Structure 1
């Protein structure tokens, strides 16, 4: 893999789907087929969502907050150049792009917050993202947290997204736990970030990374998957079949490209 991990290089080097549904690169981090990425040491990006018994966040709020958390760590100065997280971020991005969402509350959440990372707050949701760790090398404070139990309700129907805001469209035909969907939304945000030109990245950053996560209508989903916008095909490690199309990242700057 290239050792140049500047934003411009990442845009060229990282994977984006073609309009025919095929991968633009044979080493896509989201292909289900074995690739050169499988030969590299495998890392995972940990995310922890705060779910207190008395006040769990709404599902869409949690998904959107997780996607923003991924963007913030990708753009953080500690993740770039010679930053303290840069080596781990490079190793993670050169292998399979794995994200795992765990849940925490009370003292568990406080212990998680004490570890290096970034806490992102949505309307009510809180998600903390941490620099990548080896697949079998989680910090004990995070390894103890549960992956299951991240199912969240949607008390109110989400509003129609602003046309000027990037939208991560979920596959309406797949059933995913909230934790799985949070990871998939993060994948979609990451592909959009890689695909954007520098000017659009700067504008998105300066606006605070606004975005929406919505489930596409069954009638629109085929059109979205054939649109040429970044498309996530999950490798199928958990919950869904390998190769499943999970998210289309619809950023206004990419529609104009």
Structure 2
């Protein structure tokens, strides 16, 4: 297995240390911006919020670690070009025929319980297919639910308990988290995770739990001591630049 996410590991500590006002200092030329579309299936009969976020987190990672993203694969150039820059994701909602249409584009669909998400191969935003570009970004919020404790032996993606996020924004953030976690894992752990289909649990901790897990000024120490990696948002939508939105915790 080739970990195409390895470049993220090299950038992680320096990114987390940046001043907040520099976290969105990325390529602004619209013709060069790349993003991964994450399509959330939201029918009239709404899916459970937590299950949908778990499906999105797995789908985003599965695209990156799919055999087609390997050096000889058909997705490799697109995936690596995206990872080399800012790992931007755009969540969109779809139902009915629009959801079925999204299945025709290269990507991976994951279903958790009653919820499905499809992550598409990333590409230039200016080249987003019309069928995907017409899907709405707004209106993707869902009621909070209570999924209970995370199952043992599954990585946990902890949502910041002090920062409200729409389901669409949270889906992008947990997708970032699963990718960063995979980037930092060694080969045996990554292979072990692959046997579960990259399953993860999304949960919201108490403020006390969040503060205990948070890397603070020592991201390397947090990874070594408690195997936690943080997602720090660039602040393009919904929240302030530099906000830590998710803490991903590896649990063997």
Q: Same fold (TM over 0.5)?
A: yes
- Counterpart Cα distance in 2 of 1:125 and 1:190: 20
**Structure-2 residue corresponding to 1:96:** 86
1:216 aligns with one of 205, 222, 234: 205
Change (3 A) 1:9 1:192: closer
CA distance 1:113–1:237, change in 2 (3 Å):
same
- Hey, what does 1:243 align to over in structure 2? 242
CA distance in 2 between partners of 1:152 and 1:9 (Å): 30
Matches within 5 A, 1:50-129: 50-53=41-44, 55-129=45-119
Report the secondary structure of 2:12's partner residue: coil
**Do the aligned residues in 1 keep the contact of 2:41 with 2:116 (CA within 8 Å)?**
yes
Counterpart check, 1:49 vs 2:48: no
| Residue of structure 1 in register with 2:123 after alignment | 133
Deviates more, 1:168-177 or 1:128-137: 128-137
CA RMSD for the aligned pairs? 2.3
Following superposition, the deviation at residue 12 of structure 1 comes to 7.4
The change in CA–CA distance for 1:151 and 1:244 in structure 2 (over 3 A counts) is same
Residues 63, 185 of structure 1: 8 Å contact kept: yes
State how far apart, in whole Å, the 2-side matches of 1:119 and 1:89 are.
17
Aligned residue number for residue 234 of structure 1: 233
Unmatched runs of 5 consecutive residues or more in structure 1: none
Normalised to the residue count of structure 2, the TM-score between the two structures is: 0.87
- Indicate the residue corresponding to 1:10 in structure 2: 6
| Kept in 2: contact 1:44–1:100 (CA 8 A) | yes
Name 1:169's counterpart in structure 2.
158
CA distance in 2 between partners of 1:193 and 1:244 (Å): 21
SS in 1 for 2:17: coil
1:187-210 deviations in whole A, cap 9, x for unaligned?
000000000000000000012222
Q: Could you tell me how far apart the structure 1 residues matched to 2:107 and 2:247 are?
A: 27
In structure 2, the partner of 1:252 is: 251
Q: Which runs of 5+ in 2 are unaligned?
A: 216-221
SS in 1 for 2:127: coil
For residues 155-180 of structure 1, give each alpha carbon's deviation from its aligned partner in whole angstroms, at most 9, with x where no partner exists.
x5111112421000111110110000
Give, in angstroms, the shift of residue 115 of structure 1.
1.8
The runs of 4+ residues in structure 1 deviating greater than 4 Å are: 37-40
Distance 1:7 1:168 in 2: 20
> Aligned pairs, how many?
238
User: How high is the TM-score relative to the length of structure 1?
Assistant: 0.85
C-alpha distance in 2 between matches for 1:186 and 1:113: 19
Question: Which digits, 9 at most, give the CA deviation of each residue in 1:94-141, with x for residues without a partner?
Answer: 111101110011111111112222111111111111101212221000
